[in-house]
């Protein structure tokens, strides 16, 4: 009954291409001298661009969802949008990290290959139509990430972070698998759409308890991967311990993929039970907002502060789910994209300031940046104001759309909680601006910029994009809206 | 001459000027001239706004509308009525003087200072010109960023505390308004203020919305008891920052009441008018007493600003009682008109007072009253200006301060003689703290050797104070052009108020 249809290969052409390209780069990298590592760098970027072109070219028409391999793999609007931004942010990681890695003797082929495999995992994850594919994509992503965090193997902090990440990540994967097995037990299928159709959660259903437990485990697993409180313990240590280049990746691209997974699992498979999981997510969201924002205030390490800020942003992201409707998911997707772009600037700035033997990861390292280099101080200020959600920057409109989704759902109190914590959050972002603009620098010499001109240009563009998208965010919002409008039309 | 897109030009010209100043302003003088020219050009462009405004046409004029976010039906929609025009011209006028005033005192990072000022000007014009709630909100919040930077970089010793407090306090207020706006969007499906004003809302909804708006605008005005950010911000801000803050930013609060609270939630506004009136009266009397005991000149003027802005909110909300309870639309018009005139007048007077303090501060680098004394002996011209502005601050007839306060008290009397009596009390307290300040700073024997060495105004300071003086006297002696400009908008507002929404 399971038949192989060669046409299915064409459906996942971008993924197959990326796989082939990654394997080719793996081989090529073997024969390169360390001085020729730039070849790997450019080849990896080229692979991402080409994959992006394929994703874009093969984007399904509005309203269409193309399934391959008996529904294991879906190509729909949501997958397309998420893949484009996963590829984009991964590309930013490559562009921002080269000088940083070189300065730390980490400029090795493994970084590129692991990232490419992680990217492949993310693409699979956001396209998954089956619990097995979800797990496959997730493990490809997280196993690569564990190794990436430990990339700087001589650093005790890095290794500790990697171990923590691995142990807790494995636990989360286990929880997720356990939940999947329960759902399989209750429904007899692994296909997300079929689970959606079969799962019976009515009061007299014999599988009610089993499904409820399965759902809880799925929510917990997703929350682990997103870093939502109270499953956030790994996040600050990993952010701080990992090389900043890897932190950038974990903080941006993988959050987009985690959003995709959460949506596929909760709405795709368990959509019939959204009354229940929206409540759970509401609790997680409030906890994340509270813990993230309050703990971030106490941090002096910028990476750690951004880690806690991530937790609070995940809280906001989850609020988009509370609506349980297409417009809410679109708002959440809009939010996660905006967050990834903002985080890219913030971590990019940390790498810009870092030099061989010096990590610019303390907030104090940004002291007086405005006197040393007004342009990049401005870029960082844009990122901070945007993360804080001050108009006219991109971050504000992302918050606006999520708040709108929450209010449309009639959950006024959640909206109030969210804005109260947003005000608390404002303080620590402003503190970074304060340090850059109002404090005197340790040494007033002009900032020594990295040689990589491409990095500087793209980082500047990334910062300006936050401003530009604050003015013209309509098209992106439209794109997100259309992606979900399509998905809602699929007969289940 | 009728320029197309005049309002957009007025918003974006200063913003573009700010970018140009940042890009080409390495040399301090280049930055100064570039900023001054931009500000003057913007001011000149704002004059046709007044000249070409046709009072006979009701509603918004110079309308511009571009689709911004079709999915939300949010538009880049601009338009002005008489009230907005008066405030925009005040903004562009004050900005020129502020940039001129910063010519000497600001020596560090001149280009950034000038750019922040110009950006602030553009955003303020945007606040007064926006007819789309989302656009309004973006300008309303966006202007916090340049002000944050202005106070934080060029401010006094406790500037970081003051600027953080300023930012977080005002952000706190406005974000509740955002929730209200999203709610209104849910009800109407669009963001236009006009649609909001016509939305039918129940009593409970109106009450929630009213308080959401009240938090936002009361903090901005600021009203007692949410005024505590203002003295700190004023004391620590550089002179230019204080002038913009007092002369224009506070007006955004008053403007918000007129644009949002009254038309969108008239019934709740009526029901809770007593809250606002009580808060205003407390501001007028209690804050007046607080001003009396200040030893820091800037703090004194800051508190006097709060007291004077109390008249604005008093006038706006007394109008509700007049039109609804007493069925007295003429009195209501007088009250709102008075509040608006008071806003403009306070713009001139407080801007001038802060400029005067700036002039003294540039010479002695202290704002303490006790460090001065007998300035009239060494700076006769300055003393003349200072006394004029002080008189305007007490509301002496013939100065602008008198007109607005008199109109508001007159209108309040028609509602309740008691309210009028309490409000009129300010004339005494105001005279007390202002004249006592003048007595201690300007008159008497020369206070100390440092004062003896102070030089009188230079040409640049002359222009700044002279321009403020012209404004104060013009509005004081012949306010008719100003009231004529605002009359149609006020009439329309009173008309709207007389209709219940429920």
Which pLDDT tens digit goes with each residue over B407-456? Answer: 999 998 888 889 888 888 888 888 899 999 998 888 888 878 888 888 88
Query: What residues of A are in contact with residue B164 (Cβ under 8 Å)?
Result: 427, 430, 434
| Helix locations, B189-258, DSSP H | 193-198, 203-220, 229-236, 239-244, 250-256
Please report, rounded to a whole number, the percentage of residues in chain B having pLDDT higher than 70. 99
Closest chain B residue by Cα to residue A407 = B183
CB-based contact (8 Å) between B70 and chain A? yes
CA gap A431, B167 in Å, rounded: 12
- Amino acid A294: pLDDT: 92
Band of residue A165 on the pLDDT scale cut at 50, 70, 90: very high
- Per residue in A112-148, pLDDT tens? 999 999 999 999 999 998 999 999 999 999 999 999 9
Letter string b/e over residues A205-230, b meaning 16 or more CB atoms within 10 A of that residue's CB: eebeebbebbbbbbbbbbbbbbbbbe
From the candidates B15, B179, B207, B215, which should be mutated to test the interface with A, based on the most A CB atoms within 10 A?
B179
Say whether pLDDT at B264 is over 70: yes
From the candidates A391, A415, A418, A440, which should be mutated to test the interface with B, based on the most B CB atoms within 10 A?
A391
- Amino acid A160: pLDDT: 92
Say whether pLDDT at A359 is over 90: no
Place of tokens 């810009």: A352
Query: What residues of B are in contact with residue A370 (Cβ under 8 Å)?
Result: 109, 112, 153
Query: What residues of B are in contact with residue A434 (Cβ under 8 Å)?
Result: 152, 160, 163-164
Contact between chains at A396 and B168 (C-beta distance less than 8 A): no
Nearest to B164 among A407, A415, A434 (CB): A434
Query: Which residues pair with residue A128 across a beta bridge?
Result: A73
Contact between chains at A391 and B179 (C-beta distance less than 8 A): no
Tell me the residues of A at the B interface, defined by beta carbons under 8 Å apart.
Answer: 370-371, 374, 385, 390-392, 396, 400, 403-404, 407-408, 412, 415-416, 419, 422-423, 426-427, 430, 433-434, 437-438, 473-474, 477-478, 481
Query: What residues of A are in contact with residue B138 (Cβ under 8 Å)?
Result: 391-392, 396
Contact between chains at A426 and B168 (C-beta distance less than 8 A): yes
- Amino acid A53: pLDDT: 94
Q: Do the Cβ atoms of B208 and B220 come closer than 8 Å?
A: no
How would DSSP label each residue in A385-450? HHHHT-TTSHHHHHHHHHHHHHHHTT-HHHHHHHHHHHHHHHHHHHHHHHHHHHSPPSS-SPP---
Say whether pLDDT at B87 is over 60: yes
Query: What residues of A are in contact with residue B72 (Cβ under 8 Å)?
Result: 404
Q: Do the Cβ atoms of B249 and B147 come closer than 8 Å?
A: yes
Say whether pLDDT at A488 is over 80: no
Band of residue A2 on the pLDDT scale cut at 50, 70, 90: low
Closest chain A residue by Cα to residue B141 = A391
Choose among B304, B305, B308, B320: nearest CA to B412.
B320
Say whether pLDDT at A479 is over 70: yes
- Per residue in B272-300, pLDDT tens? 988 999 999 988 889 989 999 998 899 99
Please report, rounded to a whole number, the percentage of residues in chain B having pLDDT higher than 90. 36
Quote the tokens at residue B78: 């601009």
Nearest to A407 among B70, B145, B183 (CB): B183
Distance from CA of B27 to the nearest CA of A (A): 15
Band of residue A491 on the pLDDT scale cut at 50, 70, 90: very low
Give the residue-averaged pLDDT of B66-93.
89
Say whether pLDDT at B1 is over 70: no
Query: What residues of B are in contact with residue A396 (Cβ under 8 Å)?
Result: 138, 141
- Amino acid B2: pLDDT: 63
CA gap B123, B138 in Å, rounded: 9
Query: What residues of B are in contact with residue A374 (Cβ under 8 Å)?
Result: 22, 112
Contact between chains at A403 and B183 (C-beta distance less than 8 A): no
CB-based contact (8 Å) between B178 and chain A? yes
Query: What residues of B are in contact with residue A473 (Cβ under 8 Å)?
Result: 69
Closest chain B residue by Cα to residue A474 = B69
Closest chain B residue by Cα to residue A436 = B153
Q: Do the Cβ atoms of A138 and A128 come closer than 8 Å?
A: no
Residue of higher predicted confidence among A201 and B195 = B195
CB-based contact (8 Å) between B4 and chain A? no
CA gap B4, B495 in Å, rounded: 30
Contact between chains at A391 and B152 (C-beta distance less than 8 A): no
CB-based contact (8 Å) between B292 and chain A? no
Say whether pLDDT at B129 is over 60: yes
**Long-range CB contact pairs, B72-75, < 8 A, 24+:** B72/A404, B72/B134, B72/B185, B72/B190, B72/B191, B73/B189, B73/B190, B73/B191, B73/B192, B74/B132, B74/B134, B74/B135, B74/B190, B74/B191, B75/B132, B75/B135, B75/B191, B75/B192
Quote the tokens at residue A12: 């996942």
- Per residue in A168-193, pLDDT tens? 999 999 999 999 999 999 888 999 88
Give the residue-averaged pLDDT of B97-116.
87
Contact between chains at B182 and A403 (C-beta distance less than 8 A): yes
CB-based contact (8 Å) between B167 and chain A? yes
Nearest to B141 among A391, A427, A478 (CB): A391
From the candidates B12, B127, B175, B237, which should be mutated to test the interface with A, based on the most A CB atoms within 10 A?
B175
From the candidates B12, B164, B238, which should be mutated to test the interface with A, based on the most A CB atoms within 10 A?
B164
Distance from CA of A130 to the nearest CA of B (A): 32
Count contacts between A and B (CB, < 8 Å): 81
Band of residue A339 on the pLDDT scale cut at 50, 70, 90: very high
Nearest to A437 among B153, B176, B179 (CB): B153
Distance from CA of A474 to the nearest CA of B (A): 5
CB-based contact (8 Å) between B185 and chain A? yes
CA gap B20, B34 in Å, rounded: 8
- Per residue in A291-315, pLDDT tens? 999 999 999 999 999 999 999 999 9
Q: Do the Cβ atoms of A253 and A119 come closer than 8 Å?
A: yes
CA gap A320, A326 in Å, rounded: 10
3-state secondary structure of B61: strand
CA gap B492, B336 in Å, rounded: 11
Mean pLDDT of all residues in chain B? 88
Band of residue A205 on the pLDDT scale cut at 50, 70, 90: confident
Contact between chains at B179 and A415 (C-beta distance less than 8 A): yes
Q: HSE (CB half, 13 Å, CA atoms) of B454?
A: 30
Band of residue A492 on the pLDDT scale cut at 50, 70, 90: very low
Query: What residues of B are in contact with residue A400 (Cβ under 8 Å)?
Result: 134, 178, 182
Contact between chains at A426 and B148 (C-beta distance less than 8 A): no
Say whether pLDDT at A1 is over 60: no
Contact between chains at B71 and A481 (C-beta distance less than 8 A): yes
Choose among B470, B444, B468, B442: nearest CA to B456.
B442
Say whether pLDDT at B53 is over 90: no
- B222: preceding bond cis by omega (within 30 degrees): yes
Mean pLDDT of all residues in chain A? 89
């Amino acid at each position: 009954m399971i038949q192989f249809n060669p046409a299915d290969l064409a459906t996942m052409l971008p993924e197959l291409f990326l796989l082939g390209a990654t394997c080719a780069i793996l081989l090529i990298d073997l024969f390169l001298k360390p001085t020729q590592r730039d070849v790997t760098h450019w080849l990896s970027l080229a692979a991402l661009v080409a994959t992006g072109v394929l994703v874009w070219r093969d984007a399904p028409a509005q309203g269409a969802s193309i399934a391959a391999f008996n529904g294991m793999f879906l190509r729909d609007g949501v997958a397309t949008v998420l893949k484009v931004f996963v590829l984009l942010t991964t590309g930013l990681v490559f562009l921002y990290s080269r000088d940083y890695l070189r300065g730390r003797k980490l400029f090795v082929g493994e970084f590129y290959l692991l990232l490419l495999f992680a990217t492949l995992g993310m693409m699979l994850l956001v396209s998954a139509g089956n619990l097995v594919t979800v797990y496959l994509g997730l493990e490809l992503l997280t196993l690569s990430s564990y190794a990436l965090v430990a990339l700087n193997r001589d650093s005790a902090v890095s290794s500790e972070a990697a171990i923590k990440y691995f142990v807790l990540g494995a636990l989360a994967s286990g929880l997720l698998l356990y939940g999947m097995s329960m759902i399989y037990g209750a429904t007899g299928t692994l296909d997300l759409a079929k689970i959606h159709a079969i799962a019976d959660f009515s009061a007299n259903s014999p599988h009610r308890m089993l499904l409820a437990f399965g759902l809880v485990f799925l929510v917990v697993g997703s929350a682990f991967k997103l870093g939502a409180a109270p499953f956030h313990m790994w996040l600050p240590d990993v952010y701080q311990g990992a090389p900043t280049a890897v932190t950038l990746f974990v903080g941006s691209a993988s959050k987009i993929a985690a959003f995709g997974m959460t949506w596929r699992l909760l709405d795709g498979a368990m959509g019939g039970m959204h009354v229940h999981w929206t409540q759970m997510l509401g609790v997680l969201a409030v906890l994340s907002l509270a813990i993230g924002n309050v703990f971030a205030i106490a941090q002096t390490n910028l990476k750690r502060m951004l880690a806690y800020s991530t937790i609070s942003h995940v809280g906001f992201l989850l609020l988009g789910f509370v609506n349980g409707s297409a417009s809410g998911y679109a708002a959440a997707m809009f939010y996660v994209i905006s967050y990834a772009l903002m985080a890219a600037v913030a971590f990019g700035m940390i790498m810009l300031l870092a030099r061989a033997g010096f990590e610019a990861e303390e907030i104090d390292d940004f002291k007086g940046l405005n006197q040393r280099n007004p342009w990049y101080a401005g870029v960082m200020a844009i990122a901070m104001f945007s993360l804080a959600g001050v108009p006219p920057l991109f971050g504000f409109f992302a918050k606006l759309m999520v708040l709108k989704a929450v209010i449309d759902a009639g959950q006024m109190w959640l909206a109030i909680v969210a804005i109260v914590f947003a005000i608390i959050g404002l303080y620590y972002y402003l503190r970074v601006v304060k340090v850059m603009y109002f404090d005197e620098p340790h040494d007033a010499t002009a900032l020594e910029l990295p040689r990589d001109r491409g990095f500087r240009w793209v980082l500047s563009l990334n910062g300006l994009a936050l401003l530009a998208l604050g003015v013209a965010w309509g098209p992106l919002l439209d794109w997100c809206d259309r992606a979900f409008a399509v998905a809602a039309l699929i007969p289940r | 001459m009728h320029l197309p897109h005049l309002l957009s030009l007025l918003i974006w010209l200063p913003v573009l000027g700010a970018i140009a100043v940042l890009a080409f302003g390495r040399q301090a003088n280049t930055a100064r001239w570039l900023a001054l020219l931009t500000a003057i050009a913007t001011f000149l462009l704002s004059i046709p706004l007044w000249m070409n405004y046709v009072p006979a046409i009701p509603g918004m004029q110079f309308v511009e509308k571009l689709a911004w976010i079709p999915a939300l039906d949010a538009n880049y929609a601009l338009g002005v009525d008489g009230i907005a025009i008066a405030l925009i011209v005040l903004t562009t006028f004050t900005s020129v003087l502020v940039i001129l005033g910063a010519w000497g005192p600001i020596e560090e990072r001149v280009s950034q200072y000038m750019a922040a000022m110009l950006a602030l000007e553009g955003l303020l014009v945007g606040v007064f010109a926006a007819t789309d709630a989302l656009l309004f909100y973006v300008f309303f919040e966006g202007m916090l960023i340049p002000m944050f930077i202005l106070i934080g970089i060029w401010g006094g010793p406790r500037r970081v505390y003051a600027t953080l407090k300023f930012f977080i306090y005002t952000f706190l207020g406005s974000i509740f308004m955002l929730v209200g706006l999203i709610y209104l969007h849910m009800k109407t499906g669009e963001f236009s203020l006009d649609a909001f004003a016509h939305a039918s809302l129940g009593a409970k909804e109106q009450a929630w919305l009213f308080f959401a708006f009240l938090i936002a605008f009361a903090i901005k005005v600021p009203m007692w008891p949410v005024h505590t950010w203002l003295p700190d911000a004023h004391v620590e801000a550089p002179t230019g920052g204080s002038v913009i803050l007092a002369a224009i930013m506070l007006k955004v609060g008053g403007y918000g009441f007129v644009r949002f609270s009254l038309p969108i939630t008239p019934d709740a506004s009526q029901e809770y008018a007593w809250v606002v009136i009580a808060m205003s009266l407390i501001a007028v009397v209690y804050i007046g007493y607080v001003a009396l005991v200040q030893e820091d000149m800037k703090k004194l003027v800051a508190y006097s600003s709060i007291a004077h802005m109390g008249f604005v909110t008093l006038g706006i909300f007394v109008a509700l009682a007049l039109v609804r309870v007493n069925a007295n639309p003429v009195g209501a018009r007088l009250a709102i008109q008075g509040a608006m005139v008071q806003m403009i007048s306070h713009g001139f007077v407080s801007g001038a007072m802060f400029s005067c303090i700036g002039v003294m501060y540039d010479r002695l680098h202290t704002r303490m009253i006790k460090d001065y004394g007998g300035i009239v002996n060494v700076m006769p011209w300055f003393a003349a200006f200072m006394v004029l502005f002080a008189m305007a601050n007490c509301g002496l007839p013939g100065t602008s301060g008198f007109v607005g306060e008199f109109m508001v008290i007159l209108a309040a009397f028609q509602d309740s003689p008691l309210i009028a009596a309490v409000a009129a009390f300010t004339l005494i307290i105001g005279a007390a703290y202002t004249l006592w300040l003048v007595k201690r700073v300007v008159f008497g024997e020369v206070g100390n050797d440092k004062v003896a060495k102070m030089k009188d105004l230079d040409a640049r300071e002359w222009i700044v104070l002279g321009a403020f003086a012209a404004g104060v006297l013009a509005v004081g002696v012949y306010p008719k052009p100003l009231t004529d400009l605002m009359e149609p908008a006020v009439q329309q507002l009173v008309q709207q108020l007389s209709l219940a929404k429920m």
